[in-house]
Chain A
Amino acid sequence: MSEARPILEFDGVTKWYGSVAALLDVSFDVRTDVVGLVGKNGVGKSTLMKLAVGLLAPSQGQVRVCGAQAQTLDARARIGFCPDFDRLYEPLSGVEFVAWMLRYHGFSRAAARRRAEEVLAELGLEENMHRRIREYSKGMRQRVRLGQALAHGPSFVLLDEPMTGLDPVARADLSEHIRALPARGVGVLVSSHVLHELEAVVDRVVLVHQGRLLAQGRIGELRERMPDRPHRLRLRASELRALAAELAQWTPVEGVAVREDALEVSLLGQRDFYERLTALGAGWPGGLHEITPLDDDLAAVFGYLVE
């Protein structure tokens, strides 16, 4: 999926607001994949987004989009940005707003209108695109914001908290749209506080904390890079106490605790644990009902890294 040439490159980027460093020496890239930007509030996520779309200039380092400096017109022509704030041109209809933005990309008035209608229909707004934006629900407004980011056919899209305010169905739809973008040659950088939803969408993550890049890569890989952090998993089976006694003998097992109707097992390294557990489960009375990793998700990885 991911092509060799980066679409977005951060190369040693530092951004100062007066004497406060919002970002310090950040380097990463985005190709034709979906990259999640993760960090707590105020750690520099929004600054990073605005640097990527050229709304801010880096104090040091370079931000490039498809090889061009992020603040150039060439770069801006290839970027789509869905901001996190909920303001639009309220008196206009959704289709008018998107068409207005397209006019600055060189679309004729008729072509802009046609394109805006196409995009909003694809985003599920076909029945409401001609209503005034001020009458829209949050989900509809989010679709309009997304529409203006996608309508001109960008190579790279930034989505700042795109799930905010959406109902579960709309979130699922949006996730589907985002997942489909790399197949069309579009790189995506998406930030969200809803980590489990982000996890379902992204190929890789970039973790930012206190203005610094904490880690980047696939979530599983990042977890693997923390051997000093015990993996935790939950097991459900019959004969829990006997199972706990059995597992406590195994080398990688650091601890076993019985929690109501399940065992919580801490592992230092996984080595052949899962092969042995499978073999054990095959002969265990009643079998193993459930094996669930408890800290292989994005939230756990992020939590460990921030600690």
Chain B
Amino acid sequence: MTTTEASGATPARPGMLGTALESARQTLWMLRYRRVLWIVPLALVLLFLFALVVSGRARGSIDGAHLTCVLAWWGLGTVLVPWATLYLGVQAVHGELEDRTSQYLFLRPVRRLPLLLGKWLAVSLVSALIGCAGVVALFLGVGARPDMWSDGLDPSLIGTYALVLTMGAFAYAAAAALFAATFRRPLAWAAFFVVGVQMLAANLPVSAGMRRLTITDPLRRVLLDQLEPTRRLAEDLWPAERAEARELDDLPASLTLQAGSPLVDLITFVVVCLAFASWRYSRTEYESRSRD
């Protein structure tokens, strides 16, 4: 039967990268069975119809590009992508800890860090895909009325928002990994983070350091930098900054690796979250107390 002598030459154990990729593959496979993902196509159709209806009502009072930007940021950037990512991330990590199936993974001769990184990667990719598909749906909905676009249809908006939402997906997935590995009620903490911490921080001055503890703030800075918006669009995307919008000009360019740039802030956020999450995940013990 299945024994040491039966196995013959023992295969070389996978390294960090191999383990992370396998973990990502398995997580992606398991995410297929999450029923919540089945409603994504329906949600995209609804998003398209919503954009179509809203643009019909707003025709003549607002530019198509402006409407697309506002809908994409407030609908996708602050609602759909954060919640979808946090939910999927929590399910991928915490769900297995709770039902104990992660024990099967922890018994394998691989480190837990790449297992967690694989899950983070898989959730990030799925969420980014959802975000990008959402942008396309919105763009098509508003773009169905080309007369609203004073400068003609601008497909570059899709690229800009896809970039921002993808960055957001990776960051929210890191936050989800942290909450899932640390807390017994990670979704409650995720809600507190999105509704409490981020909203509170969003109303602080641009110079406030606490903004760097959030995801929306650097994302919004990337977005504004990439869009080069009109003053009205900037105010619609970042209402709390109306009085200080001029300070935006003094901020570092968004996609540089300069200290204080939004990209560096996001990378720092992701690394810190994943470091803590990995520390907690690696120390998870299965005590005799029930986790059910």
A: residues with CB less than 8 A from B are: 17, 22, 42, 46-47, 50, 53-57, 73-74, 76-79, 81, 83, 85, 87-89, 91, 100-101, 103-108, 111, 115, 118-119, 122, 147-148, 150-155, 177, 180-181, 184-186
Contact = CB atoms under 8 A, between A and B. Distances in A.
Nearest to A180: B1
21 contacts: A47-B288, A53-B107, A55-B286, A74-B109, A77-B10, A77-B109, A78-B4, A81-B103, A89-B101, A91-B30, A103-B14, A103-B22, A103-B26, A104-B22, A105-B108, A105-B109, A106-B12, A111-B11, A122-B1, A184-B6, A186-B4
Contacts of B107: 53-55, 76, 79, 81
A83 B287 contact: no
Nearest to A78: B4
B111 interface: yes
A133 to B, nearest CB: 11
Interface residues of B, number: 35
A122 to B, nearest CB: 5
Most chain A CB within 10 A, of B3, B6, B99, B111, is at: B3
Contacts of B288: 17, 22, 42, 46-47
Interface of B: 1-7, 10-14, 19, 22, 26, 30, 32-33, 99-101, 103-111, 285-289
Given A103-B26, A105-B108, A106-B10, 10 more contacts: A42-B288, A53-B107, A55-B285, A73-B109, A76-B108, A83-B100, A87-B101, A101-B105, A104-B105, A184-B5
A56 B14 contact: no
Contacts, number: 114
Given A17-B287, A55-B286, A76 B4 contact: no
A104 B2 contact: no
B261 to A, nearest CB: 38
